[in-house]
């Protein structure tokens, strides 16, 4: 459990440092998300930062999620990239994915950490609201349904 707290603190410091280092121009945009996951069956919540476009519509969006329920606690550090399909529609679809580090703390048994890989598809609007479905392989939760907001 102590190891999980250390990783959560390090992730929060990293996200906070990236947000605080932001000068006049909005190079990163902070946000939050919440939803449900399947296998493990949990409610999750977390925060993210989204970079300005790296190339075309490709952005880096690292996040930290905390899952509760399902007889275990989970802290997931996700290092995902998203590509938003260009358009002037009210809602724009996006796809993405990336690696994850998942820290499991079951109610019974020893804590463990596992590497995983996430693939996601979603839709977002210009106000910052987004909905997404995330599929995990290896050590990541199998399926996540989430909603979030990115401050612009």
9-24 pLDDT, tens digit each: 555 545 554 444 445 4
For the domain spanning 2-150, the CATH number is: 2.40.160.20
The Cα–Cα gap between 22 and 66 comes to: 25
Which is it for the CA torsion 40, 79, 35, 47, positive or negative?
positive
The whole-angstrom separation of Cα 72 and Cα 5 is 15
Q: How far apart are alpha carbons 114 and 100 in whole angstroms? A: 8
Going by the DSSP 8-state scheme, the letter that residue 85 receives in this structure is: P
Question: pLDDT value at position 24?
Answer: 41
Contact by Cβ (8 Å): 111, 104 = yes
Closest CA to 142 of 36, 65, 33: 36
pLDDT in tens, 66-120: 999 999 999 999 999 999 998 878 999 999 999 999 999 998 889 999 999 999 9
């Amino acid at each position: 459990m102590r190891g999980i707290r250390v990783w959560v603190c390090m992730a929060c410091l990293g996200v906070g440092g990236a947000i605080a280092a932001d000068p006049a121009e909005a190079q990163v945009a902070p946000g939050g998300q919440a939803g449900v996951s399947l296998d493990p069956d949990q409610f999750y919540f977390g925060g993210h930062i989204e970079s300005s476009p790296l190339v075309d519509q490709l952005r880096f969006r690292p996040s930290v999620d905390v899952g509760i329920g399902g007889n275990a606690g989970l802290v997931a550090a996700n290092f995902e990239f998203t590509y938003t399909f260009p358009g002037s529609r009210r809602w724009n679809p996006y796809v993405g994915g990336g690696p994850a580090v998942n820290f499991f703390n079951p109610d019974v048994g020893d804590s463990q950490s596992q590497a995983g890989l996430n693939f996601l598809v979603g839709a977002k609007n210009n106000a910052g609201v987004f909905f997404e479905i995330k599929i995990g392989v290896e050590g990541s939760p199998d399926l996540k349904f989430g909603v979030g907001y990115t401050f612009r």
